[in-house]
Structure 1
Amino acid sequence: MDQITFHYDTVLSDVHLLLPNSRHLMARLNRVGQPGTGEQHTMATPLEDVGKQVWRGAFLLADLILSQPTTFRGATVLELGAGTGLTSVVMATVAKTVYCTDVGEDLLSMCQKNVTLNRHLMEPAGGEVRVRLLDWLRHDLCTDADAEFGWTEDEVADLHDNTTIIIAADVCYDDDLTDALFRTLYRICNNLRLPCTTYLSIEKRLNFTLRHLDISCEAYDHFRHCLCEMQELKDGRTCFTVEQVKPSFPQCLLYERIEQLELWKVTAVPV
């Protein structure tokens, strides 16, 4: 196994994937999957590359999908900030089409490899994962025919006409990105023809801050603020309702379901 060098901005993941050969392995970024591995991810990354790791929020969402398959069966689904693509793969075992989105060619390439490695899990239900570029800082989808992970016009139409489920797993760790996420969510929901339900998982991370000289959860607090703003929004186009989902559904995957893990449900209905 390659040696990892840790820097001041290195972020460690405490999630280890249990692979079919009964060993906990780490697949380094941009490496072709080893024989027998069912997932590529990294265990340590710089802060800007945290999407290349697997976080507990992805497993919590996957548990929801596996526990309530009828909720998602046959649906067209959009995942925002998909990272390694684990939750999209699980979703495709019951859904019809999953648009698995993120930014960065290296990340999207790794995600595509994971989808390919796990295609056998999706085939029985006929589900399909399409890995696509979706930048929260842009106001449109990339439809450049030369872009490797660009959208076709038919896919954009399918997204807007048929999407009823949006998911995002543990993507709120930076206030600016959280703002961008909610702007993207608002924009997409306003373009959807059908009512849509969004499931957002988040882990409340406690940090000691010099500003407060105390333990705080600033990223989580900002996430909750954005949820409140969305529910209070009155624009005459879409009505948003927000509720917390208690994680009382069965745990199907091997990870620690800590009390700081939360799941939120946002329902968007065209006015």
Structure 2
Amino acid sequence: MSGPTFNFCGHDVTIHEQLADCGVGATIWDSSIILSRFMEQTELELADKSVLELGAGTGLVSIVASLLGAKVTTTDCGETLPCAWGNVPRNTELRAKHAPVVRRLEWGTADLEDFGVQQYDYIMGSDIIYKEETFPDLHKTIMHLAGAETVLYLAGRIRFSADEDFLDTLKQDFYLSCVYEDPIREVYIYRGEKLRNSKT
């Protein structure tokens, strides 16, 4: 089984998409490539930092964060997780300083309790703002896992008014700003820092 190959951090990264088994979440979307390249090309200090990826899909963002020296936890729902299980270890073994951990996380469920009160340095997600019915659980998940110093990086297309509304909801607890825009592919990267007066 083969898939597209990218070069990140001086390494060839081959991603296997598993559409038949894992659905559309197992597709390489533009947002994951753009966020990965953003991490590599900017002065984002990830070495020895804890990074949680939400809705990891193929795991590309987690792979690149690992290659940049981060302590990565890769998460997705049970249906899609096998895709990350296949891609992340294969592309980071003997390359990454810290071996990434791949874990199931269904947003807004009891799975959150398995993560305890861990507060990550970074929470990242690409193309996770796309199903309006998931927004309340996504917000709950971010709020549960983000500490006072956690920085968010969310990449994706903002297609509908509901997507804008979700960003507005995040702005109640985070200072959110667009730090990158790809006008051709219509992908935006948002950076968020917890507001000091946030209630959670």
TM bracket (short chain): 0.7 to 0.9
Map of 1:261 onto structure 2: 187
* Alpha-carbon shift at residue 65 of structure 1 (Å): 0.9
8 Å contact kept, 2:32–2:61: yes
8 Å contact kept, 1:165–1:196: yes
- SS, match of residue 195 in structure 1: strand
- SS, match of residue 112 in structure 2: coil
* Alpha-carbon shift at residue 227 of structure 1 (Å): 1.4
* Alpha-carbon shift at residue 225 of structure 1 (Å): 0.9
Q: How does 1:199-218 map to 2 (within 5 A)?
A: 199-204=153-158, 217-218=159-160
- SS, match of residue 265 in structure 1: strand
**Structure 1 pair 247/258, CA: closer, same or farther in 2 (3 Å)?**
same
8 Å contact kept, 1:195–1:270: no
Q: How does 1:96-107 map to 2 (within 5 A)?
A: 96-104=70-78, 107=80
Out of 82, 87, 94, the position equivalent to 2:68 is 94
Map of 2:164 onto structure 1: 224
Structure 2: gaps (5+ residues): none
Map of 1:18 onto structure 2: 5
Map of 1:38 onto structure 2: 14
Map of 1:11 onto structure 2: none
8 Å contact kept, 2:123–2:152: yes
8 Å contact kept, 1:57–1:201: yes
Structure 1: gaps (5+ residues): 2-15, 21-35, 144-150, 205-216, 234-238, 249-256
Number of equivalences? 192
Out of 165, 168, 172, the position equivalent to 2:129 is 172
8 Å contact kept, 2:74–2:102: yes
**Structure 1 pair 140/18, CA: closer, same or farther in 2 (3 Å)?**
closer
Q: Which structure has the bigger radius of gyration? A: 1
**Runs of 4+ in structure 1 over 4 Å off:** none
* Alpha-carbon shift at residue 60 of structure 1 (Å): 0.9
- Identical-pair percentage: 23
2:120 aligned with 1:133: no
TM-score with structure 2 length normalisation?
0.82
8 Å contact kept, 1:133–1:142: no
Superposed CA deviations along residues 15-58 of structure 1, whole A, max 9, x for unmatched, are x72379xxxxxxxxxxxxxxx9822114x569x82111110000
In structure 2, how many angstroms separate the alpha carbons of the residues matched to 1:170 and 1:70? 20
Map of 1:114 onto structure 2: 87
